[in-house]
Structure 1
Amino acid sequence: MFSKSKCFVGGQIWSQTTRRITKWLKEVKSSTIRETQLQPTCSSPVYCYGPLLHTVQTAEPKLFKDSKTFVDMRMIHSQSETLDTFNKLMEKTEGKPSHEELKQFVNKNFESGNELENATLSDWKENPKFLEKIKDPVLRQFASDLNQIWPGLARQIRPHVIENPTQYSIEPVPNKFVVPGGRFMEPYYWDSYWIISGLLICEMPDTARGVIENFLWFVEKYGFVPNGGRVYYAERSQPPLLASMVDLYIKYTNDTKWLKDNIDTLEKELKYWLNVHTVDVNGNTLLRYYAPSAGPRPESYREDLETAKGNQALYTELKSGAESGWDFSSRWFADTDGSLNSIQVTNIVPVDLNAFYCGAVEHISNFYSILGNDKKSAEWKNIRDEFRESIYKVLWSEEDGIWFDVNITTGEKRKQFYPSNVSPLWTKCIGQNQNMVEVGDRVAKYVSQSDMFYYPGGIPTSSNRAGEQWDFPNAWPPLQGIMVEGLANSESQMAQQLSFNLTERWVRSNLRGFRDTNEMFEKYDCEVPGRYGGGGEYVVQSGFGWTNGVILEMLNAHGDELTADED
């Protein structure tokens, strides 16, 4: 694999050897967190930690219905002046300002907006060519309507933010970007994979490249891509799909010069995940979500205080759950019939995280091959092979014909249904001795025998009605996309038929919702086609970036055979 030389990665020594990953990457982070060992979420004493944030976010009654509202506001004055005004208020009131005094302080020192402006997408086209492949006129119009949404989701940073960054929580990324929608008015990491996929289908490579370059900018700044484009997200990442985004872009443009210019930054992110997120399970190296930093999430400050009640280990679990993108789900509970305060994300090896990473390593190996660097290509290919085998040995259930999450402490598989169980097919990261057709048949049998597959509004996120938004009955677009493409990748006829059946149901369900509301939503109700989902810490949001991208993928792949209505 690697030679015994060492290279410096992320401020730590990354040992390279010729044996298993577990021989050269032994450090496993402890799940027991002590607050004194941790840094705040970020350096801002307004947006990330401190008395001002705590006082505003815990006001009784609430100053804002949504905790994210306050930390997305800009400071009207400088940070030092804002803190000085707050300190004087606290001195005057002996640390107990009235609700009205606190409200006046916020109104005089903070305001919403004025950080972003609508952006013009120079490569947007009224009629991209893929529309011609869609035979059904209703679906063709649906696709055209989705294409019309992109300009409305395009944003760019105002110059004042770049000149006065400490007065804002928004990160001053250099390029235009496409937001998910609703309350999410900044770039988000894993959302953007499907946004980029949709942009490229709509022939917008310049916009897609700009979105990717913003994430590369984050890697250069932090060593990884944060959850989203706010300073308070700087303590955690999200599912590592940056290399997969680049793969989409390179396949569309064949821009090898751009790839050569950015390959080092891509590699830096992949090394970050190896350095920070690895765990050993019975001699096999895999990844977990792990986001330790002191205190509650600033954007969910009050909610985290109510859940964790000062327990730092639980704050870490909540942040790690947010890093997973599944915030929150009974998937992460110690007992799936439990509640949020039993969350144990850091003690679980997730199927999807490891499949995503395995796919990313495959991509970077291919990128180096394209660039003629056979040595680096072989190094990353060996890592890919290690992950393929670890996923097979630890997560694959020969008895059930599917992959399952695994409890790190016990090594036991958590045998619940989640669409994420299929992700190794999406990234084609099966065991080296497994056959894609045979594995596809096994997975198709597992999926087809589950009641979860047949709901009219899509596949639910879990079988558990726990009240969390990543649970039944919510059906999330990226999980439908992973299931559809994963089954199609398997080369199994049975799996491909299931893939098409789900594609048909999901497209018709989204179309029904769009006809009823003229909106696309971040999640849907699997029991009622077209109805938006619910649960969680905030109301359902519309827009919506990844929803549009997934539907465009499906229409692009099957537009010649899909119909809007049942025969």
Structure 2
Amino acid sequence: MRRIFGKFDYKDLADLVVRAPIPVILDRFENLPHNAFTRYLEEAFQDCFYPGFPDLIEWNPPDIPRTTPVWLTDDGPQGSHAVPQAGTHGEDIHQQPELFAAVTSLAGAPGSTDLSQPILRSRTTTNCSIPELTRHEENKFAQDIILLWKNLGRKTLSSIVIEPRTAKDGAYQEAGSSLVDVPWGFIIPGGRFREMYYWDSYWTIRGLLYSGMISTARGIILNFTDLIRRFGFIPNGTRSYYLTRSQPPVFSMMLSAYHAFTGDLESLHVLACGVGTYGSFLGALHVGAEVLFAFIALSGSDDEMGLFDFDISKGRQSRRVTSAGVAALLMQLHSPVKLQACRLFGHDRSSHGSEGTCTCLNLTPAEHDEEKAAHREQTTQFDTGQQWDGANCWPPLLQMAVEAMIELGSQAAVEAVKSMTDRYIFTCMQAYKRLGALPEKSCTATSGSCGAGGGYKCQTGFGWSIGVALELLFVKRASFCAKEVQRRRRKFGSASYMEAMKAAQNG
């Protein structure tokens, strides 16, 4: 393939649509001379594969707003400079404060981290010198990135995509396309990721809701409900090669976000019809921790330092450190609770101890040492060369950290969130000016630069980056007050929901 196309992404090969059965294709290439001329390779390729990726077609979401979302121009709440109160998300169906005490008690367990001890810091430092952004600049940026959704809209072409067949041994046989058909239009992450992904879509859905695109968000959730109906679980992504693994269970969080915006209990009942099946699937996974974490694919974060026992002098050793972020997401599924104000770090399954690093990864459930949290956009404090370590900032982890800290509500936490938000928004604005898109991950050391590391070049688009940027702007408009965020979210979401229902009736 490299002789034909030059640089060739191995994922492209897996995503090609074949014209002939796999054995026929293998025979065709195996029978070519060892040093075949490029034109013979091109002929064989054209005979065996369709050009491009015809199993997917571009789709323009019909509910992309034609006007500026009202929350961008709405005035701030009265008394917005007052210290917000913690635990003010009373209507969120994931908020169950009665469970907090049991979780926070983990902080005092043997082997838990002593926050008074020094923390190992990486060699990278965050550049805090950013200009103050005007509201006009932020509004223009928000309008620009909302329009990026149309670049990421896709639909499967069902005439080409065939339901994966199950062989006698239970394995899935390859069809003409590796793509799994879904009934509704969806948003792809971007770049090499041309299909719908599970946990990526959670932050994409949140961004769509902040964009007022209720119908598109609902369609994506319906796609996941359809996958649960067909396969009994939600795979890593909508490709046949993902049907043996999944990602952290965020389906209930998607439903919670949809309800928080719309209050639509009737649709929520329809959307949640697969939760029981999915819960049974996850409940059946009473296996060893090593098997479970081999099954869970974190959209790349299986490379993250937080899942390994790491020795600076020897490199990564063994996969035995459980990320606090993973633990928090699993708690979300089995207990409708948002973990807040608990000092829970990465848990070492071998020593029942704590990993002890304070970063965005461990702010997820969330650890709130506010004075140390001002520069925690980067995932970890280790420079390992892996993409899920310093100095990369991953938008999903940043969003969860920000959400947890504003729920904590102290002045120190709010000030830290303000700083984190402004730096991330400025970085995204710089990246958009340079790329006309947002990067999958960013580098905290240089504003506007893409993150590095991992097995592929940093991709642009990018679904969850757009979603998180919009959410942070929304939170900033609400003056980082948890109660005001909730009020505005329901107010804006209800108006968007009514517009969506009206459009559906007229359509």
> Normalising by the residue count of structure 1, what TM-score does the alignment of the two structures yield?
0.65
Structure 1 runs, 4 residues or longer, greater than 6 Å off: 59-63, 96-99, 338-341
* CA shift in 2, pair 1:152/1:146, >3 Å: same
Tell me the SS of whatever aligns to 1:140: helix
Counterpart residue number, 1:106: 45
The question of 1:469 aligning with 2:408 is answered: no
Letter in 2 for 1:141: K
Q: What is the aligned-residue identity percentage?
A: 26
Residues 227-259 of structure 1: per-residue CA shift (max 9 Å, x gap): 111111111111211111111112222222222
For 1:156 and 1:478, locate their aligned partners in 2 and report how far apart those are by CA, in whole Å.
Answer: 25
Contact 2:310 2:316 in 1 (8 A): no
Provide the rounded CA distance (Å) in 1 between the counterparts of 2:227 and 2:313. Answer: 36
After superposition, give the CA deviation of every residue in 1:182-223 in whole Å (9 maximum; x if it has no partner).
111110111111111111111111100110111111212222
The answer as to 2:11 corresponding to 1:68 is yes
Q: 2: distance between equivalents of 1:274 and 1:340?
A: 34
Helix, strand or coil for the counterpart of 2:460? coil
1:169 positional shift: 0.8
- Preserved CA contact (<8 Å) 2:306 2:321: no
RMSD: 3.1
Aligned residue number for residue 326 of structure 1: 301
Answer with 249-258 or 68-77: which moved more.
Answer: 249-258
Aligned to 2:371: 448
**Number of the residue aligned with 1:360:** 333
Q: Secondary structure at the match of 1:155?
A: strand
> 1:325-357: per-residue Cα shift (whole Å, max 9, x none)?
41422223332437887451xx33321122112
The answer for the alignment partner of 1:409 in structure 2 is: 350
Cα distance, 1:483–1:123 mapped onto 2, change above 3 Å? same
| 1:460 pairs with 2:378 | yes
Q: Once the 2 structures are TM-superposed, how far is the Cα of residue 113 of structure 1 from its aligned partner?
A: 1.2
Distance 1:99 1:484, change over 3 A: farther
* Alpha-carbon distance between aligned partners in 1 of 2:283 and 2:7, rounded to the nearest angstrom: 39
Partner of 2:492: none
- 2:79 is aligned to none
Question: Which residue of 1 is the match for residue 140 of structure 2?
Answer: 141
Question: Is structure 2 residue 40 aligned with structure 1 residue 116?
Answer: no
Taking structure 2 as the reference length, what is the TM-score of the superposition?
0.73
Q: Which residue is 1:533 aligned to? A: 451
Give the Cα separation in 2 of the matches to 1:188 and 1:253. Answer: 23
Residue 129 of structure 1, aligned match among 49, 70, 73: 70
- Separation in 2, partners of 1:176, 1:211: 7
Q: How does 1:64-463 map to 2 (within 5 A)?
A: 65-77=8-20, 79=21, 82-87=22-27, 90=30, 92=31, 105-111=44-50, 112-127=52-67, 128-133=69-74, 136-162=135-161, 166-276=175-285, 289-291=292-294, 320=296, 322-323=297-298, 325-337=300-312, 342-344=317-319, 347-363=320-336, 402-425=343-366, 443-445=367-369, 447-449=370-372, 453-454=374-375, 459-463=377-381
Distance of 1:270 and 1:482 partners within structure 2: 23
Q: Which structure exhibits the higher relative contact order, with contacts defined as CA atoms closer than 8 Å and separated by 6 or more residues?
A: 2
Q: Is the 8 A contact 1:348 1:408 kept in 2?
A: yes
Deviation of 1:69 after TM superposition, in Å, equals: 1.1
Distance between the aligned counterparts of 1:89 and 1:104, measured in 2?
A: 11
Cα distance per residue 1:31-75 (max 9 Å; x no partner)? xxxxxxxxxxxxxxxxxxxxxxxxx8xx99998632101001100
User: Does 1:486 find its partner at 2:404?
Assistant: yes
The aligned counterpart of 2:465 is 547
Greater percentage in helix: 1
Secondary structure of the equivalent of 1:480? helix
2:64–2:147 Cα contact (<8 Å) kept? no
Whole-angstrom CA distance in 2 between matches of 1:342 and 1:493: 40
Structure 2: gaps of 5 or more residues: 76-133, 165-174, 481-507
Distance 1:98 1:343 in 2: 44
Question: Which secondary structure does the structure 2 equivalent of 1:152 belong to?
Answer: helix
- Residue 437 of structure 2 aligns with which residue? 519
Moved more, 198-207 or 62-71: 62-71
**Separation (CA, whole Å) in 2 of partners of 1:246 and 1:532:** 31
Give, in whole Å, the separation in 1 of the partners of 2:402 and 2:358: 16
Residue correspondences, number: 409
In structure 1, give the amino acid aligned to 2:293: Y
Q: Distance in 2 between matches of 1:341 and 1:102?
A: 41
Q: CA deviation at 1:274?
A: 2.7
Q: How does 1:41-60 map to 2 (within 5 A)?
A: none
Q: Residues 136, 63 of structure 1: CA spacing in aligned structure 2 closer, same or farther, 3 A cutoff?
A: closer
User: Compared with structure 1, are the counterparts of its residues 224 and 499 closer, same or farther at alpha carbon in structure 2 (3 Å cutoff)?
Assistant: same
Distance 1:160 1:149 in 2: 28
| One-letter amino acid of the structure 2 residue matched with residue 448 of structure 1 | E
Secondary structure of the corresponding residue to residue 403 of structure 1: coil
